[in-house]
Structure 1
Amino acid sequence: MAPLNTISTLSNESAKVIIAACEAKARSMGLSMNIAVVDASTHLLSFSRMDGAKLTSISIAIDKAFTAAGHRVGTHTYKEAVWPGGPAFGIWNSNGNRFTTIGGGLPILGKKGEVLGAVGCSTGTPAQDQEVAAAGVAAVERFIRSEDGVKARL
């Protein structure tokens, strides 16, 4: 057994790729968004509040990213489980009330399924927020593959 673990996590450069892709997607949908990117340890790495984004959605975007990274699944996956009597009813009270079950938070996974970080978007409907977040995930996945390709050629 190794005495230390090494984890892969998003870099600031990756966060910039995510933010740019999310902003572009939101603009194409006619929306303004709050966009949060967290690292593998759920700590805020980057944040963007587009002009016109709801002020009350700032913490929601951050909490969506926190939840997606910490629980390794999209925040939308809890939708049916959180109703009274559901298996996850009351889960939003966990983690200092930061756990959110509103769609719009997606984890970013590495090649081995490990969480590298997450993105959370908020201001639109949960479906719109998730669509914008998915654009950021897709962009950073392309970026990571291109970076891996560059390193493999060196």
Structure 2
Amino acid sequence: MQTRYALDLDVANVILHEARDHALAQGWQVSIAVVDESGGLLAFARMDGASLLSAELALGKARTAAVGRRESKAFEQMVEEGRLSLLGVQGLTCLEGGLPLRHEGQCVGAIGVSGVASHQDTRIALAGLSVLG
């Protein structure tokens, strides 16, 4: 038998607020999604001024990172290297900005951010990730 850790709502909200505070400090309007290990939504915010599309992309990036157990950027790089078949995988968002959340080596969920340049989305996600130490 294994011990499995689970991301709870309280921690998901702390992650969300840390990421949102970082975005606010930069003057960026983004959407932020925090999901559990299966990609189920736990916490979400679309900041004032963030595009409607950013909401869908943030959730897609988070789900991709959670289910894929790696940064969503890894899938973007695979597509750039010619693995175009990934574009046909339902539910996969091959764009930078999704990061898996880990606790004691286990993926317990992910955070996804969308609304500014992809590398800036990742900076916001990293701010949220910092909550886990």
| 1:104 equivalent among 97, 105, 111 | 97
Is there any run of 5+ residues in structure 1 with no aligned partner, and where? 143-154
Deviation at 1:47, TM superposition (A): 0.6
Corresponding residue of 1:128: 120
Deviations 1:112-136 (A, max 9, x none): x211000000000110101000100
Deviations 1:23-49 (A, max 9, x none): 111011110110001001111111111
CA contact (8 A) 1:8 1:40 kept: no
What TM-score comes out, normalization by structure 1 length? 0.81
- What SS class does the counterpart of residue 43 from structure 2 fall into? strand
Task: Map 1:41-120; keep pairs closer than 5 Å.
Answer: 41-83=38-80, 86=82, 88-94=83-89, 96=90, 98-111=91-104, 113-120=105-112
Corresponding residue of 1:147: none
**What CA distance in whole angstroms lies between the structure 2 residues aligned with 1:55 and 1:80?**
25
RMSD: 1.4
Deviations 1:32-73 (A, max 9, x none): 110001001111111111111111111110000000000111
What TM-score comes out, normalization by structure 2 length? 0.93
**What CA distance in whole angstroms lies between the structure 1 residues aligned with 2:10 and 2:60?**
21
**What CA distance in whole angstroms lies between the structure 1 residues aligned with 2:9 and 2:46?**
17
Is there any run of 5+ residues in structure 2 with no aligned partner, and where? none
Letter in 2 for 1:109: R
- What SS class does the counterpart of residue 127 from structure 1 fall into? helix
1:27 aligns with 2:21: no
| 1:18 equivalent among 10, 15, 24 | 15
Letter in 1 for 2:92: F
Q: Which has the larger share of strand?
A: 2
* Percent identity between the two aligned chains: 35
